Chain A
């Protein structure tokens, strides 16, 4: 693989394989995600989509293959290192910090951009106070975008399901990523909420200059906003193209109708 191609793509995955014992969850998968793309990743249940996210974010290490983010090889790096490089994610099974408030959840994520030193906090220096205020203000700004500023001081898990998903996106954005991975953000939302979310995702991409990788079962959402879609089945890529191409692809139709 040439370094030039790794540099043009924000994310470049090359022949990535992940085996759990005898089970191959991801099989020689390659991806090429250009900057600013809204890239869809779809496939039947158990296809390996979440596993791909876990590989990209360092939760798992690929058994084989490489992952380049903005030209840096990140395969096998620790999740927090990858986040620092500018990759953020949400979780399919919501993972909010339950015993913390909505605001604290977002403030926590701003952590990595903080210049605070522990001693500043212990002594309570002016620098520390200033940073706290700044972190709080930024978190509130993000919450406003998601219409969550009104519940900033509520417990995170006291929110309705749909809002918890939106809070996870807000929290991910607080790490100031350039690549955002969303794992079924519309799951559990009603049709209207899904449509609103779809619009919001598109807007966020433009506003924050993001590249977005989206896993979603709601085909309306996926076909509506993604420019490029990759279809996974049994850990393998079976199709790659525009929404129109994907909808007409016989292998995809077979996987969805024949599978399930």
Chain B
């Protein structure tokens, strides 16, 4: 893609997102998006950022992290803290030179940047000691880390402690949520098709051979882990500043981490489109099953688990495997005598 094309894509994407944001908030004519639906769509966007970023470390680099909720918490609380306690200052400071509108609009990205940096630093602190060792230390260390973060947050009154961070301003809108989801997808996709991405795949496939190819495996694993953590922090920052969606330490425990893992396992570990699909499905599924739950309390979780067990039995590599969903699949299917095996998306 040439640079001009890239700028063009960028501008168009921003334009479309702004337009959709407008529709999202104010509707068009009679068409209005209800608060409930708007909330689900927002949660899907955040889930996409979470799942695609986790895929970088779990899927591409093959390092099993159980701490995504922890990084989400670090980033989320930091970002939300910045907005709640310094948002007006930031808006005023920027507003005095760039105008009031810009001042108000830039609080969100600044808070997200702070969240990303905080989560990245946490990622570095967790990643350096645990990724130097071979084996599954990362899973254990990240699990412990998530719980430690949760306990720490419980004991900080300024961010709400056990009651959650409730006194926030809901400035996470459609635009920022999906801008960050797209940014995450672009970052992970670009990394994957680069020298760095190939090095990560090599580490996943055979660490000894990767070292023999001149790859500093520790450095690359840590780098991937830090990027993944930073993006989880962004997702946290969005989540904490969503309307009526306060951050609560109880919702950011390891069950949340596992939920994100389920998303990428469902879609196919390593596949970006798979992660997007998994994020949407796992966000919608509990909602769709809510009616069932009303009649048969608890059945929702049973169905949910059953679906996952069936998936593990019949398609352990996830719906898409490592492949990416693309329109070419349909073209290929039309061709005479085309092998049907590549179109693995539909057969569950």
Interface residues of A (CB under 8 A from B): 57-59, 78-80, 83-84, 88-89, 91, 95-100, 104, 107-109, 111-112, 114, 116, 118, 120-124, 126, 128, 131-132, 135, 171-172, 175
Q: Provided the pairs A121-B195, A128-B194 are in contact, do residues A111 and B215 lie with their beta carbons within 8 angstroms?
A: yes
Interface residues of B in 193-222 (CB under 8 A from A): 193-199, 201-202, 204-206, 208-217
Supposing A80-B214, A95-B209 touch, asked if A124 and B190 sit within 8 A by C-beta, the answer is: yes
Interface residues of B (CB under 8 A from A): 1, 3, 6, 187, 190-191, 193-199, 201-202, 204-206, 208-217, 223, 322
Q: A112 — which chain B residues lie within 8 A by C-beta?
A: 213-215
Instruction: Write out the residue numbers on chain B whose beta carbons fall within 8 Å of the beta carbon of A59.
Output: 208, 211
From the candidates A83, A95, A98, A135, name the one contacting B195 in the complex (CB within 8 A).
Answer: A135
B295 to A: closest C-beta gap in Å: 45
Name the B residues within 8 Å of A132 (CB-CB).
193-195
Contact of A108 among B3, B191, B193, B199 (CB under 8 A): B199
B-side contacts of A84, CB under 8 Å: 214
Q: For the complex, what is the distance from the CA of A107 to the CA of B193, rounded to whole Å?
A: 11
**What's the nearest-Cβ distance from chain A to residue B102, in Å?**
24
B216 touches A80 (CB 8 A): yes
A interface secondary structure, majority:
helix
Find B202's partner among A97, A121, A126, A131 (CB 8 Å cutoff).
A97
Q: Is the CB of B202 within 8 A of A108?
A: yes
Known interface pairs A80-B211, A118-B223; A100-B194 also in contact (CB < 8 Å) = no
Known A-B contacts A80-B215, A95-B206, A97-B205; A111 and B198 likewise in contact (beta carbons under 8 Å): yes
- How many Å from the CB of B256 to the closest CB on chain A? 27
In the complex, the answer to whether A121 meets B194 with C-beta atoms within 8 Å is: yes
Chain B residues, Cβ within 8 Å of A98 = 205-206
> In the complex, which residues of chain A have a beta carbon less than 8 angstroms from the beta carbon of B191?
118, 121-122
Distance in Å from the Cβ of A158 to the closest Cβ of chain B? 13
Q: How far is the CB of B240 from chain A (nearest CB, A)?
A: 25
Q: Nearest A residue to B198 by beta-carbon distance?
A: A108
Q: Which residues of the other chain, B, contact A109 by a CB distance below 8 angstroms? A: 213-214
Residue of B whose beta carbon sits closest to that of A171: B213
Chain B residues within 8 Å of A121, by CB: 190-191, 193-197
Of the residues B193, B205, B212, B223, contact of A89 by C-beta under 8 Å: B212
Across the two chains, which residue of chain A brings its CB closest to B322?
A99
What are the residues of chain A within 8 A of B190 when measuring CB–CB? 121-124
**17 A-B interface contacts by CB (under 8 A):** A58-B211, A83-B213, A84-B214, A95-B209, A96-B206, A97-B209, A100-B202, A104-B198, A108-B210, A108-B215, A116-B195, A116-B196, A121-B190, A121-B195, A121-B196, A135-B195, A171-B213
Supposing A80-B216, A111-B215 touch, asked if A91 and B195 sit within 8 A by C-beta, the answer is no
Partner of A91, one of B1, B201, B202, B209: B209
The smallest beta-carbon distance between A115 and chain B, in angstroms, is 10
| Listed residue (B194, B199, B322) with the most chain A CB atoms within 10 angstroms of its CB | B194
In the assembled complex, the Cα of A114 lies from the Cα of B194 at a distance in Å of 11
Closest to A57 in B: B212
Selected contact of A97 from candidates B3, B187, B194, B206, CB within 8 Å: B206
Residues in B whose Cβ lies below 8 Å from that of A107: 198
In the complex, the answer to whether B187 meets A122 with C-beta atoms within 8 Å is yes
Bound Cα distance from A71 to B190, whole angstroms: 40
Smallest Cβ distance from A12 to chain B, in angstroms? Answer: 21
The CA-CA distance from A123 to B193 in the complex, in Å, is 12
- Please indicate the chain A residues that have their CB under 8 angstroms from the CB of B197 in the complex: 121
Beyond A111-B213, A118-B191, 16 extra complex contacts between A and B, CB < 8 Å: A83-B212, A83-B214, A91-B212, A95-B209, A96-B205, A97-B206, A99-B322, A100-B202, A111-B199, A114-B195, A116-B195, A118-B223, A121-B197, A122-B187, A122-B191, A172-B212
Lowest 4 A-B CB distances belong to which pairs?
A112-B214, A121-B194, A83-B214, A97-B205
In the complex, chain A residues whose CB is within 8 Å of the CB of B210? 97, 108
B244 to chain A, nearest CB (A): 34
Q: Complex: how many Å from CA A84 to CA B196?
A: 16
Chain B residues with CB under 8 A of A128: 194
Pair B208/A95 contact, Cβ less than 8 Å? yes
Q: Give complex CA distance A98, B213 in Å.
A: 15
Closest to A89 in B: B212
Asked if A111 and B195 sit within 8 Å, CB to CB, the answer is yes
Q: Which residue of B lies closest to A109 (CB)?
A: B213
Residues of A within 8 A of B198 (CB): 100, 104, 107-108, 111
Return the contact of B211 from the options A78, A99, A116, A171 (Cβ within 8 A).
Answer: A78
Q: Are A118 and B196 in contact (CB under 8 A)?
A: yes
Closest to B224 in A: A118
- Given A118-B196, A124-B6: A79 touches B201 (CB 8 Å cut-off): no
Which residues of chain A have C-beta atoms less than 8 A from B201's C-beta? 97, 99-100, 104, 108
Closest to A123 in B: B190
B209 / chain A contacts, CB cutoff of 8 Å: 91, 95-97
Quick one: given A107-B198, A121-B197, are A99 and B213 in contact (CB under 8 Å)? no
A135 to B213, CA, bound (A): 14
State A55–B216 Cα separation when bound (angstroms). 18
Could you tell me the distance in whole angstroms from the C-beta of A139 to the nearest C-beta in chain B? 11
Docked pose: A79 CA to B1 CA in angstroms: 36
Smallest Cβ-Cβ distance to A100: which chain B residue: B201
Taking the closest CB of chain B, its distance from the CB of A175, in whole angstroms, is 6
Write out the residue numbers on chain B whose beta carbons fall within 8 Å of the beta carbon of A88: 212
Chain A neighbourhood of B216, CB < 8 A: 78, 80
Please measure, in the bound complex, the distance between the C-alpha atom of A112 and the C-alpha atom of B205, giving whole angstroms: 18
> What are the residues of chain B within 8 A of A83 when measuring CB–CB?
211-214
